[in-house]
Every structure is written in structure tokens, then in C-alpha cells.
Amino acid sequence: MSEITEYNEAITYEKFLDTARENIELMKARFNDLLLNEQEQETLRTIQNRINILVIGTDRCNDTAGNLPVLARMVSISPKVELRILDSDKYARFHQNFRVNGKRKTPVVLFLNEDLEELCRWAERPNTVYKLINEKNNPSLEDRKVALKKLYSDPEILRQSLHEFMSLILRSDYILGRH
């Protein structure tokens, strides 16, 4: 495995919000609106190994604006997990390494160990959102943007993201030796 040194150049969620130009209020609202139950909080508090999460994304992207607050909320509970964000435009060459079906997807979420080696990854949007977006008959790009904003305002969609991220954090912890 190779070390992902770009993590060291990435910024915190707070700094990302400070420098963002779009979707700021939406991201803040999504962070505040996402409630984790006791079991989810306990799971996050008991992560045993250091896990670094690197998100390659941009504030202009509805998928980033929908999912980044979920990760930030989770990280705010877990003392062993750290979140950093790398601008997908500024680091486009690096972002090219994580194509899906030949296309750059945003965001890309990398779960890294302490040595910044990749454990697992997640791309673009939760399964439920893919399903809902793909059910529409060839929507225009503008229609998709509007639909995505609406979908990510749904608490159930945020919970879907939460469950997918929770699964990957736990998987990473087990890969690293959780017992």
C-alpha cells in the first residue's frame, strides 16, 4: 500500500466551512439536524484504532454538501477518527486516481490508517440516492441538482449516509485489529 501524503495538505471541516462559497448554510443545517441514537454514539466513541478520513470534494457539489456534514457529525463524537477535506478542483490530478466508470466522482471518501494507507473508500452518494436519481427518465443536469438538494434535506437520506459511513468506519477498525 502506498501512503496518501495529500492528507497532510487537507483542511479540517471547520476550515472548509470558513473558506466555502456555496452550500454553507445547508451544510451547517445538515450537521445540526443529524441526530445519532445512543447505540450509534457508543459505537463511535468505542472505535479502538486511529482512522483518518480524507474527503476529496468541493462546496459546489451537492453530494459533498449532503454527505460531508454527516461525516463531520460522526467525527465530532469519535476521539479516534479525524476528518480532513481536499479540494477536488485544486487537487484534480490526485482526484483522477479515484475514478468510477472512467469518471471523476465527488466526493470520494478515503478511510486511512495511521500511516495514511487506504483501508476502504466510498464515492459520490449513498445507494438510496443513486436509486432515486436513476429512476428518473433522463433528467437534465439542472433537474438533477434540484433533486439532489431536496433529497439531502430528507433526514432518512442523511441516515442512509450515516449507516454507510458507520459500516466503513467499523470495517476500518476491524481491519486494524478491533477486538
Query: What totals of helices (H) and strands (E) does the chain contain, helices first?
Result: 8, 4
Amino acid 145: pLDDT: 79
Would you state the pLDDT for residue 150? 86
Q: What is the pLDDT of residue 102?
A: 87
Q: What integer pLDDT is reported at residue 138 of this predicted model?
A: 56
For 171, the 3-state DSSP assignment is: helix
pLDDT for 143 equals 79
The pLDDT value recorded for residue 151 is: 87
β 118-123/81-87 pair status: unpaired
Structural domains present in the chain: 5-175 (3.40.30.10)
pLDDT (tens place) for every residue of the chain, 179 residues total: 678 999 999 999 999 999 999 999 999 999 999 999 999 999 999 999 999 999 999 999 999 999 999 999 999 999 999 999 999 999 999 999 998 888 899 999 999 999 999 999 999 999 888 777 776 565 677 777 788 888 888 889 999 999 999 999 999 999 999 98
Give the per-residue pLDDT at 142. 79
CA distance linking residue 154 with residue 22, whole number of Å? 19
pLDDT score for 133: 73
Least Cα distance to 158 among 35, 60, 23, 57 occurs for 35
